[in-house]
Amino acid sequence: MAELKIGIVGAAGRMGVALVRAVTEARGCRVAAATERAGHGALGKDAGALAGLDLLGVALGTDAGALFKACDAVLDFTSPEAAVAHAALAARTGTILVTGTTGLTSAQQAKIRAAAKKVAVVQAPNFSIGVNLALALVEQMAQVLDDGYDIEIVEMHHRHKVDAPSGTALGLGRAAARGRGVTLEKMSERGRDGITGARRTGTIGFASLRGGDVVGDHTVIFAGPGERVEITHKAGGREVFARGAVRAALWARGRKPGLYSMADVLGFTR
């Protein structure tokens, strides 16, 4: 089977560089095209050189449409606005889209779902294998531990992250809500300040910390009478997300149109 031709949008960013490395290190695929936003200082430079690798013969351009046409799959860790545009391009060209972009509105998410009716889209708040194991465990624990156990989710990221709570934290919250048979929208508590009163039974609380260069720390706390159970995941580098994204792209090859998750990629059952 021919190598999967993978395109990377935002290839000069921190996550983009990790994706270039992960694709280059993986078997069965290669970096076929890479883009950056107009005016970026890395335009015209080789994607491999920017990632500290040997030259790949792939210069960074600005034409996302040409990138989608030239590739079998595209990896997107950009902004919500860009992710929606990339989903439309994927639907138009039949190119697999793997997206880890977070912070999407409900309207933007609807456009991702619409694109998935025409092409395979793998979307996840986090592509780390460890985080996806944590998601499965959180859902199972929430099924077993009733609302006498309060659920709190604490996350910390680097100072440059623009959305809060993180997409991964929200994913963990949705997993807990599924386990409890409720919707996160009705039961989430996004912050407390001042005289808040007693904690509302059954809510799922979030706390977001920002500082330094933290890649991503997440802890789900089940606080019950006489005991506390915690599930923690700490990412030491972006390569864990990048490897998962490449695995998702390879898995999606030949799949029917649809909106898939890392649970599908890893074969988890819900």
Given this model, what pLDDT does residue 185 score? 93
Residue 268 pLDDT grade (very low, low, confident, very high; cuts 50, 70, 90): confident
Q: What is the separation of C-alpha 85 from the centre of its chain, rounded to a whole number of angstroms?
A: 17
**What percent of the chain has a predicted confidence (pLDDT) above 70?**
99
Residue 270 pLDDT grade (very low, low, confident, very high; cuts 50, 70, 90): low
Query: Regarding beta strands 150-157 and 216-224, do their DSSP bridges make them parallel or antiparallel, or are they unpaired?
Result: antiparallel
CB 3 within 8 A of CB 72: no
For residues 124, 141, 216, 261, the Cα torsion angle rounded to the nearest 10 degrees is: -10
Given this model, what pLDDT does residue 69 score? 97
Residue 7 pLDDT grade (very low, low, confident, very high; cuts 50, 70, 90): very high
Distance CA 115, CA 124 (A): 15
Given this model, what pLDDT does residue 103 score? 86
Please say if the pLDDT value at position 93 is more than 90. Answer: yes
Residue linked to tokens 């030239």: 70
Domains of the chain as residue ranges with CATH? 4-123+238-266 (3.40.50.720), 129-235 (3.30.360.10)
Please say if the pLDDT value at position 125 is more than 90. Answer: no
Q: What is the set of active-site residues? A: 157, 161
Given this model, what pLDDT does residue 113 score? 98
* pLDDT, mean over the chain: 95
Q: What is the mean pLDDT of residues 237-257?
A: 96
Given this model, what pLDDT does residue 82 score? 96
Residue 1 pLDDT grade (very low, low, confident, very high; cuts 50, 70, 90): confident
Residue 138 pLDDT grade (very low, low, confident, very high; cuts 50, 70, 90): very high
Distance CA 29, CA 32 (A): 9
**Which pLDDT tens digit goes with each residue over 151-166?**
999 999 999 998 899 9
Please say if the pLDDT value at position 251 is more than 80. Answer: yes
Q: What is the mean pLDDT of residues 70-93?
A: 97
* Collapsed DSSP state (helix, strand, coil) of residue 177: helix
**Which pLDDT tens digit goes with each residue over 175-233?**
999 999 999 999 999 988 999 999 999 999 999 999 999 999 999 999 999 999 999 99
260 φψ region: left (φ > 0), alpha (ψ -120 to 50), beta (else): beta
Q: What is the mean pLDDT of residues 230-253?
A: 95
**Which pLDDT tens digit goes with each residue over 16-43?**
999 999 999 999 999 999 999 999 999 9
